[in-house]
Structures are given as C-alpha cells and as structure tokens.
Amino acid sequence: MKRTILASIFGALSLNAFAASPSYDFVKAGYVQADIEDAGNFEPTGFQIQGFKSLNENVYLTGRYGQLSEDVSGVDIDLDYVSAGVGYRYGLTQNTDFFGEVTYEYVNLDIELDSISGEDDNGYGITAGIRSMLSEQFELRGAIRYIDIEDDETAFEIGADYFFTPQFSFGATYVIADDVDLLGVSARYTF
C-alpha cells in the first residue's frame, strides 16, 4: 500500500518526461505581505530578493534579502532580514528534486519611536523540500523550514512558478509559520 501511494505521488510529480529538472541558477524579486497573528490591522508589506547559484551538479549557494515595513499610528516599523547558505539537491526523477539547505539567518527590527530603538539578532536555518517541473512551463515546490533566531520556529512553504519563456517566469509563494503567514508574488530570471 505504501509503495503504491509513493509511486502515485512520484508519478504525479513527473507528468511530463520531457520537462527539465528545476534550475538552481536564478534570481527573483517580488512583493511580500505578512499577516501577523493577534496584531490587529498591522500587516507589513515590502519586497524580497532571492538568488540561487549552482556550484556543481548537486551543490548550490542560496541567498535572500527582504524588507517589510508599516506605519502604525505614526510609528514607523521596519523589519530587514538576510539569509545566506549552501544547499544540496538530489534528483528523485528526471524533473523532481529533493533539496536541503543550511543557512545563516539575520534579522533587524527598527522602530522609530522616542524611547524604543532597533534590535537585531542572528541564528541558523535548516530547510528540506521538493521542487518539480510538472511541465516545461510550470514548477511546483514545497518545503519545511526550521529557523532558530533567539526562539525556534517551523514554517511550511508552498509555491509555484509559471514560465513564459525558459528564462522568465512569474510565481507565487505562501508561507505558514507559528505566528505569521507570508504571501509573496515574484518575477524570476533563470540564467
């Protein structure tokens, strides 16, 4: 029974045998909105830039920078974050990869108020997931991410990209964590 279920899942992920494996050489930039639990109308928005660069067939570098901000009752709140690390991909099928990453994480919270200043901290992250080219135009991904910065947090991510050309795509990502959900849309250039 378990073998049948696993075969069905991997079969669904490899619908098009002619699709290439996911690329690990790209940059993308986009818009991000956060929904913070028990924060009322505080929903900071901003941007994120992310890049991947393969070093060989299996090892790649990854980096991400983002900035979220919102003005609440005349108080400007900014959150900057940086993530940089190394990843390893393993081809499960011709067009589906399992991947894992270890990253350095840095966050800086800046509140412009008379008696309150900024605060920053750093830590590490561990990510595991699957990326699959369902067709030549459509990539689907899912991941689980553990981040330890002062407190630990587990997040689940699902996303997809639609390729208009082999180099350019448009995508969306949804991240669910303990106290915050993130929704992002982005444009991607694969080189």
Angle at the Cα of 61 (from 56 to 66), degrees rounded to 5? Answer: 155
pTM of the model: 0.83
The strand pair at 138-149 and 168-176 is best described as unpaired
Tell me the per-residue pLDDT of 77-116, one tens digit each, with 9 for 90 and over: 888 999 999 999 999 999 999 999 999 999 998 877 665 6
* pLDDT tens for each residue of 16-51: 444 688 999 999 999 999 988 776 677 899 999 999
Tell me the pLDDT tens digit for each residue of 124-138.
999 999 999 999 999
Is the distance from CB of 86 to CB of 61 less than 8 angstroms? Answer: yes
Q: Where are the beta strands (DSSP E) in the chain?
A: 26-36, 45-54, 59-72, 75-91, 96-112, 119-133, 138-149, 151-163, 168-176, 180-190
Q: Are 102 and 125 in contact (CB under 8 A)?
A: yes
Q: Which of 40, 54, 81 is nearest to 175 (CA)?
A: 81
**Size of the chain in residues:** 191
Nearest-CA neighbor of 117 among 78, 81, 66?
Answer: 78
Give the residue among 123, 136, 148 at the shortest CA–CA distance from 14: 136
